[in-house]
């Protein structure tokens, strides 16, 4: 059943939300949508076929993507695993085919929808690159939300995609400039050229780098607390930190509500997850579970819909309890957990920090190295830069984490800062203000 608005405003607005058909990039708009719906606004949500019922349950109006824009999570996953191509070549192919390659069709779809519904504002995620030209051509105010490391950079900040930590002084600035130039030109250069050709055909200004194609210059809602991002000397006022994202409002009926309590015994509890893009649990979940049980933990594993296939591999040992489930509410699991072990998805990591839970992050694909570097820089976790872990690797990482000086105080400060930022209210009000100005 759809949620009904809690109250109506004298003057409500129509909002158009547009999200990439990847689970996290779609569902992470939920808190903003929930707030807008609760305030009586009408929210139209253009998304993939897999998310239509969720949108309805949240009280928004689903708009179906055309087949030229939609793709499955399996299709997206095929670009980041199971290929003989190098990591750089896989990223190039992903952007050429799915990110930039769909931007023209996205823009066409969105312009048609904008003409029909006349929204006062548009909100998109940073991978939906067709939103920028659609907003420019229609004149509708455009905002973005970030559910990955902040894309804005300067000479004092390590570039996105490099997995580097800050380095002070001239040497650091020299490093940052050179690495950023290499990433912009060698990794994303062909995709940027393709995108700028599309913009030229539409009469839209080109972008100096591909990062700026998905970052609104008017309002960007960054899904974290300020202390989880590197400080920047030239950060514009348009970038606003709003706190942790994730789903809200509608409980996933597939999530076993008692799983976290079943995983909680007399021993500390570790929550282990690989997300939805990498379903081979032998990469991390299985070796991590074996290591953690040996180190005295009970373990709760989420298997992304493949629990039955993998459950026999997680045979419960005499030393501790292991619970394997298909899906679970992350907030529920983290409320009971003492540790998160993950391949490093941004939303899962930020949810752990919101809950004050330390993180062991293992992963080297996508933006994982950037997330791991931020965990170590902030003193709230450790990173292992490999996709496939061994039990010994996890045990060594756990030793590093527990031996980290000031870990608990860093977690407490970070958690308090996250809790002070309510993404639904803060982001929702900023979007409302943008629509009113328009």
pTM for this entry: 0.92
Tell me which of 190-199, 212-221, 260-269 is least confident. Answer: 260-269
pLDDT of residue 421: 97
97: which DSSP letter?
I
pLDDT at 88 over 90: no
Higher per-residue pLDDT: 5 or 222: 222
Place of tokens 């070549």: 89
Cα 41 to the chain's mean position, in Å? 25
Tell me which of 4-18, 167-181, 229-243 is least confident. Answer: 4-18
Domains of the chain: 14-243+421-437 (3.40.50.2000), 259-419 (3.40.50.2000)
pLDDT of residue 252: 46
Going by pLDDT thresholds of 50, 70 and 90, the confidence category of residue 306 is confident
pLDDT of residue 1: 42
Going by pLDDT thresholds of 50, 70 and 90, the confidence category of residue 254 is very low
Cα 373 from Cα 382, distance rounded (Å): 8
Query: Which has the closest alpha carbon to 17: 142, 167, 112?
Result: 142
Q: What is the mean pLDDT of the segment spanning 282-293?
A: 92
What share of the chain in percent tops pLDDT 70?
89
Going by pLDDT thresholds of 50, 70 and 90, the confidence category of residue 241 is very high
Q: What 3-state class would DSSP assign to 382?
A: strand
pLDDT at 265 over 80: no
Cβ neighbours for 86, distance < 8 A, ≥ 6 positions apart: none
List, in sequence order, every residue forming a beta bridge with 381; answer none if it has no partner: 359
pLDDT at 309 over 50: yes
pLDDT of residue 320: 62
- DSSP string spanning 148-188? SS-----TTSPPTTS-PPP--HHHHHHHHHHHHHHIIIIIS
Burial status of residue 120 (CB atoms within 10 A of its CB: 0-12, 13-18, 19 or more): buried
Give the mean pLDDT of the chain: 89
Higher per-residue pLDDT: 225 or 386: 225
Q: What is the mean pLDDT of the segment spanning 204-209?
A: 95
pLDDT of residue 303: 84
Query: Which has the closest alpha carbon to 335: 269, 388, 422, 242?
Result: 269
Contacts 24+ apart (CB under 8 A), 73-79: 73/21, 73/22, 73/23, 73/276, 73/277, 76/22, 76/277, 77/276, 77/277, 77/278, 77/279
């Amino acid at each position: 059943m759809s949620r009904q608005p809690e109250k109506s405003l004298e003057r409500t607005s129509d909002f158009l939300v547009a999200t990439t058909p990847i689970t996290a990039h779609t569902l992470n708009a939920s808190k903003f949508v929930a707030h807008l719906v609760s305030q009586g606004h009408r929210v139209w949500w253009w998304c993939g076929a897999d998310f239509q019922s969720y949108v309805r349950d949240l009280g928004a109006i689903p708009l179906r993507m055309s087949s030229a824009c939609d793709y499955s999570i399996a299709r997206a996953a095929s670009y980041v695993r199971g290929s003989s191509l190098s990591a750089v070549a896989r990223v190039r192919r992903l952007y050429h085919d799915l990110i930039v390659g769909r931007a023209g069709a996205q823009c066409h779809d969105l312009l048609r929808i904008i003409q029909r519904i006349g929204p006062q504002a548009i909100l998109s995620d940073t991978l939906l690159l067709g939103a920028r030209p659609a907003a420019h051509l229609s004149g509708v105010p455009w905002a973005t939300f970030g559910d990955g490391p902040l894309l804005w950079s300067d000479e004092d900040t390590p570039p996105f995609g490099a997995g580097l930590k800050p380095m002070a002084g001239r040497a650091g600035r020299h490093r940052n400039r050179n690495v950023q130039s290499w990433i912009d030109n060698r990794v994303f250069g062909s995709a940027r050229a393709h995108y700028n050709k599309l913009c030229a055909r539409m009469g839209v200004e080109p972008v100096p780098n591909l990062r700026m194609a998905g970052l609104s210059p008017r309002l960007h809602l960054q899904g974290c607390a300020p202390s989880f991002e590197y400080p920047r000397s030239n950060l514009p006022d348009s970038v606003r930190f709003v706190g942790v994202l994730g789903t809200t409002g509608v409980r996933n009926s597939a999530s076993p509500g008692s799983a976290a309590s079943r995983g909680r015994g007399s021993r500390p509890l570790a929550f282990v997850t690989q997300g939805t893009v990498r379903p081979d649990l032998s990469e991390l979940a299985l070796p991590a579970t074996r290591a953690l049980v040996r180190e005295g933990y009970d373990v709760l594993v989420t298997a992304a819909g493949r629990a039955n296939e993998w459950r026999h591999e997680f045979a419960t040992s005499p030393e501790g309890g292991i619970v394997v489930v298909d899906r679970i509410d992350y907030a529920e699991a983290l409320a009971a957990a003492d540790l998160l072990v993950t391949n490093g998805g941004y939303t899962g990591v930020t949810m752990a920090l919101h809950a004050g839970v330390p993180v062991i992050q293992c992963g080297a694909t996508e933006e994982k190295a950037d997330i791991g570097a931020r965990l170590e820089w902030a003193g709230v976790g450790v990173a292992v830069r490999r996709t496939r872990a061994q039990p010994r690797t996890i045990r060594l990482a756990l030793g590093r984490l527990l031996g980290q000086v000031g870990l608990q105080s860093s977690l407490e400060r970070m958690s308090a800062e996250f809790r002070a930022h309510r993404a639904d209210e803060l982001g929702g009000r900023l979007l409302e203000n943008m629509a009113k100005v328009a």
